[in-house]
Amino acid sequence: MTQFAFTKANANIVVPCFTSISIVIAVLGSYISLNEIIILRPIVEIIEILFGVILLTNYTSKYK
């Protein structure tokens, strides 16, 4: 999947996206498969990570 993404976009966009998605998948996977309770802190951290990825991917191409 990552190799396909590298053929379609630059590495400075692909790497942060896949890194943040792996964190989200780990938290959601533990919630679904292990019935863990998700408290407010991981939710806020996921939102911050996604916000950072959005900023990184949207504003890096303007300064090339």
Domain ranges of the chain: 2-63
Rounded Cα–Cα distance for residues 61 and 26 (Å): 29
Q: Is the pLDDT of residue 15 over 90?
A: no
C-beta separation of 49 from 23 below 8 A: yes
Q: Is the pLDDT of residue 33 over 90?
A: yes
Rounded Cα–Cα distance for residues 53 and 32 (Å): 24
Higher pLDDT, 51 or 61: 51
Q: Where are the beta strands (DSSP E) in 1-64?
A: none
Task: Please give the pLDDT value at position 28.
Answer: 87
> Average pLDDT of the chain?
80
Higher pLDDT, 42 or 63: 42
- Which of 12, 2, 11, 8 lies closest to 56, judged by CA? 12
Taking the model in full, what pTM does it have?
0.60
Rounded Cα–Cα distance for residues 13 and 40 (Å): 28
